[in-house]
Amino acid sequence: MSGLERFMADYILGFWYFAGISVTMIFFSALQYLTRAGWSSSIRRIAENFTGFIPWMAVGFLPIVAHIFMSPHPIYEWVHGVHEDPLLMKKEIYLNTTFFVVRLGLYALLWFAMYRHIVGNSIKQDTANDMEPTKRNWKRAAPWVLVYALTISFCSFDLLMSLEPHWFSTIFGVYTFAGHFVAAIACITIMTVALYKAGHLREYITEEHFHDLGKLMFAFSVFWTYIAFSQYFIIWYANLPEETIYFTSRMEGGWEYFFYALILVHFIIPFAVLLRQDVKRKTTVLVLAAVIILVSHFIDLAWIIMPAVAKVVAHGSGAHHPQVMFSWQELTVWLFFAGLFLFTTALNYKKNNAVAINDPLLHEGVEYTS
């Protein structure tokens, strides 16, 4: 890959990794309000404090917008050369630069509104004299969950799937959701254990909460595997060239090792580690499993993004088999976004309580047994 094209691939990888997790944290909170869950009232604020990245989402989209308008060789094939490709001409009503930018702006706006409403009301409840902030979240959680489902799916279509505009998968939105959700639970688990061991949550968190976080990581690791296999199996069984190209290009040139690594770290290891009930109550094992899941999420997104961009570059240079390009550069860009993510999270902990101290269901969380 050339320097700019590779940087943009790295940028989308790092940005979408943490943007997806941040938005999914709001979804996690909204889901607790929707179901009026009592068990999670002790840990819900931990998820909400991870959402400090959301107000900066529009700024994060700007380099992508600048790239598609200013780069002579954008990584999105549909930006140029549409009229030479009959299939892309049919998709031009959706895949065009103006509508693309409008959609990115809409995602940023809706996510910010979701953040202000769900997280804002949760924080207001800490100092409220009545239950009105919580009641507002109970009433409006359902539409916000629907907004999340639509926006996380369509944004993954736009940022990731449109890197290969000839290919499509109707299950792709669910696939990316599963990855983001299990990664979000992993982040919540690590922070919960860290705060608990530092002595901040001992009156609110019990072994039962660790057990449930372990069950969620286990369940959604299996769910991600189910969705990933379903997508692969349907494409393999149909054996249509316009669909199989997605996997064939990722099973050569060194990318196949990412595929094998995903099977190992996104399913086999979490499944084996978290299978036993007693293990899910051990904080050290939970943190280990959570770290493995976060690593697997990085590998997953890299396997989606990097081969697509490498293929575009290889096609432009006349090469037939894009080779794997992966080094310190990918990790450096990811670490930059990790720093921003942790910085905004730290700011939230400085401003907000670590627990929703005035939540009407907090007593259920404290007394919870599974």
Instruction: For 111-138, write each residue's pLDDT tens digit.
Output: 999 999 999 999 999 999 999 999 999 9
Other beta carbons within 10 Å of 95: 20
User: How many residues comprise the chain?
Assistant: 370
Question: What pLDDT, on the 0 to 100 scale, is given for residue 321?
Answer: 57
Q: What is the pLDDT of residues 157-188, one digit of tens each?
A: 999 999 999 999 999 999 999 999 999 999 99
Give pLDDT, residue 29. 98
Distance CA 173, CA 179 (A): 10
Contact between 151 and 30 (Cβ < 8 Å) = no
- Alpha carbon separation from 76 to 2, 185, 186, 315 (Å, rounded): 14, 31, 31, 13
* Residue 350: predicted pLDDT: 96
CA distances from 97 to 62, 92, 94, 129, 160 (A): 13, 9, 9, 49, 15
In percent, how much of the chain has pLDDT > 70?
95
Distant-in-sequence, close-in-space partners of 86: CB < 8 Å, separation ≥ 6: none
pLDDT for 252 equals: 87
What is the Cβ-side half-sphere exposure of residue 154, based on CA atoms within 13 angstroms? Answer: 20
**321 contact partners, CB below 8 Å, separation of at least 6:** 252, 253, 314
DSSP code string of 198-249: TTSSTTT--HHHHHHHHHHHHHHHHHHHHHHHHHHHHHHHH--HHHHHHHHT
The letter for the amino acid at 255 is: W
| Positions in the chain short of pLDDT 70 | 1-2, 81, 312-325
| Whole-angstrom distance, CA of residue 348 vs CA of residue 310 | 38
| Residue among 154, 151, 184, 186 at smallest CA distance from 292 | 186
pLDDT at 204 (0 to 100): 95
| DSSP notation for 305-347 | HHHHHHHHHHHHHT-SSPPP--SHHHHHHHHHHHHHHHHHHHH
* pLDDT for the residue numbered 313: 65
Task: Give me the pLDDT at residue 319, please.
Answer: 52
pTM of the model: 0.95
Residue linked to tokens 């931990």:
46
* Structural domain of 66: 3-366
pLDDT at residue 194, as a whole number: 97
Instruction: Say how far apart CA 3 and CA 333 lie, in whole Å.
Output: 13
CA separation, residue 262 to residues 13, 135, 161, 179, 330 (Å): 16, 42, 19, 11, 17
pLDDT at residue 369, as a whole number: 79
Tokens of 258: 């990412």
- Radius of gyration, CA atoms only, the chain: 21
- Rounded distance between C-alpha atoms, residue 190 and residue 29, angstroms: 17
Secondary structure letter of residue 65 according to DSSP: H
Q: Quote the number of domains for the chain.
A: 1
